[in-house]
Homo-oligomer: A and B are copies of this chain.
Amino acid sequence: MDRIKYSPYLDIVQTPEKAALNIKNKHVVGVSGFTKAGDSKTVLPIVAKRALHEDLKITVLSGASLGYDTDADLAKNGALYKRMPFQADPTLRKAINNHEVLYVDQHLGQTADMLQNIDTFKIDIAIIEAVGITKEGYIIPTTSVGNSPIFAEKADKIIIEVNRSFPESLAGLHDVKILKKQPNREVIPVLDAYTRIGDPYIKIDPKKVVAIVYTEVPDSPAVISAPDEKTKAISNHILRFLEQEVEEGRLTESLLPLQAGIGKTANAILSGFKDSKFKNLTMYSEVLQDSTFELIDAGKLLFASASSITVTESCSNKVFGNFDQYKDKLILRPQNISNAAEVISRLGVIGINTAIEFDIYGNVNSTHITGTKMMNGIGGSGDFARNGYLSIFACPSISKEGRISHIVPMVSHTDHTEHDVDILVTEQGLADIRGLAPIERALLIIQNCVHPDYKEQLLDYFTEAYKLGGHTPHILNKALSWHTLLQSNGTMKIEELEVHQA
């Protein structure tokens, strides 16, 4: 019981089943958890099960995606009315696209502000994972901070899941501050990745805590495929570009703080820095993946600030089994500070994120398959792309044996506009579109990023559109034709169709 230093809480230690009874139909529930890290591992899954047998439909706000099958079970059992600000679960995704669950896809840096500004999501109850409780009754988070501070502040009631699978030495990792609502919003005095501005715990009113449960369930491990030829090529293009920026005196060898999105491509890109000339790197990011710890081990990365640590099982054993080796190189912050426009613009973060597709003018789709079906969500990519020093978007040039080109005439959904994108990169090459007019961008993107199988087809589109005039040439009734072709014929290739039809 020594993880709970505030004795009144000992009286309300209970089973997760009992604690879960606090969640009632139509409740708005704020849960800890950011890309699988530090989420509710016992109470929320029980709520999902209860929905099988009773009338229970809730709104769930989190930091980002949850671990295990929690989102899947909530969706499958009809327990979700609305979900925000992010998810990455195949079952939930299907429910969203079938209109069974309402989903609000939000910049991860903006949920806390929204909760301060509107009353639509009055948090009835917060469920927050803790590695321990201070003597004042405050929460020491586990592997993510996410939106937990604002959920705890806004909630009527709080349930704490004390997770004994993490070492108690996580205490001190976190830096928590709740920003005041405007017009009293203060300067966020983060001057570099290292700066601490708050407390190592989430201050709460202990009287709001209605239940404490214990758990030993570890975080749901990340599963990341090893870098392959394509992701290595993408990484190399980015490294060569950054090397050139250093050679020409625009950046130093320690660059500026790096941010990398979640997943295989971003992880592979970051891994590539291990064998680069860069040194004394820092990260100001939202999620730390395996590559962060590879870079620390390689002596390349001095410090990493983020909102969560989401790693594979082996990396988790390495990091949390020897946490004293890593602790002084890490800070976890609330996601409205890790993703704050103010800090990202001041530090000049280099944002590296993945795209579903981009178009010849530099608009990026990060969220929708063929313009309609939600994949995961925008996450923090917009927070970093909009306000950072450099906004890099990467994806493979083709997929599905070449039936899909990820560079298209016009994106089917826009998450990052032409005004906010600096660098586009595929395994084919990199296009630096800073300071270019649309027609300049189109030629560079087609030349550098597009797969040879689609180069002529895309150039044909651009040439035909160019003749019609306009700052951003398009043939409106063909602009989305690659997507409709894919829907109807299973490929974006015009040529194959023509051969087939001939």
Contacts of A483 in B (CB 8 A): 476
Q: A187-B189, A250-B118, A470-B97 are in contact. Are A107 and B419 (CB under 8 A)?
A: yes
Give A480's nearest chain B residue, CB to CB: B476
Closest CB in chain B relative to A9 CB, distance in Å: 33
Contacts of A420 in B (CB 8 A): 107, 382
Cβ-defined contact, A119 with B378, below 8 A: no
Stretch at the interface among A126-134, A392-400, A435-443: A435-443
Closest CB in chain B relative to A208 CB, distance in Å: 21
Cβ-defined contact, B348 with A340, below 8 A: no
Q: What is the interface size of chain A, counting residues whose CB is below 8 A from a CB of the partner?
A: 86
Give A192's nearest chain B residue, CB to CB: B183
Contacts of A371 in B (CB 8 A): 410, 470, 472, 474, 476, 479
**Alpha-carbon distance between A363 and B412 when the two chains are bound, in angstroms:** 12
A472: which of B346, B368, B434 is its contact (CB, 8 Å)? B368
Cβ-defined contact, A182 with B476, below 8 A: no
Cβ-defined contact, A348 with B183, below 8 A: yes
Give A361's nearest chain B residue, CB to CB: B413
Contacts of A215 in B (CB 8 A): none
Does A386 touch B at the CB level, under 8 Å? yes
Question: Could you tell me which A residues sit within 8 Å of B by CB distance?
Answer: 82, 84, 96-99, 102-107, 113-114, 117-121, 181-183, 185-189, 191-192, 248, 250, 256, 340-342, 344-348, 363, 368, 370-374, 378, 382, 386-387, 389-390, 410, 412-420, 434-437, 439-440, 465-466, 468-474, 476-477, 479-481, 483-484, 487
Contacts of A477 in B (CB 8 A): 480-481, 484
Cβ-defined contact, A476 with B484, below 8 A: yes
Give A101's nearest chain B residue, CB to CB: B437
Cβ-defined contact, A414 with B412, below 8 A: no
**Alpha-carbon distance between A434 and B85 when the two chains are bound, in angstroms:** 12
Q: What are 7 A-B pairs with beta-carbon distances under 8 A?
A: A98-B469, A104-B435, A183-B256, A372-B465, A386-B386, A413-B472, A479-B480
Cβ-defined contact, A373 with B437, below 8 A: no
Give A59's nearest chain B residue, CB to CB: B435
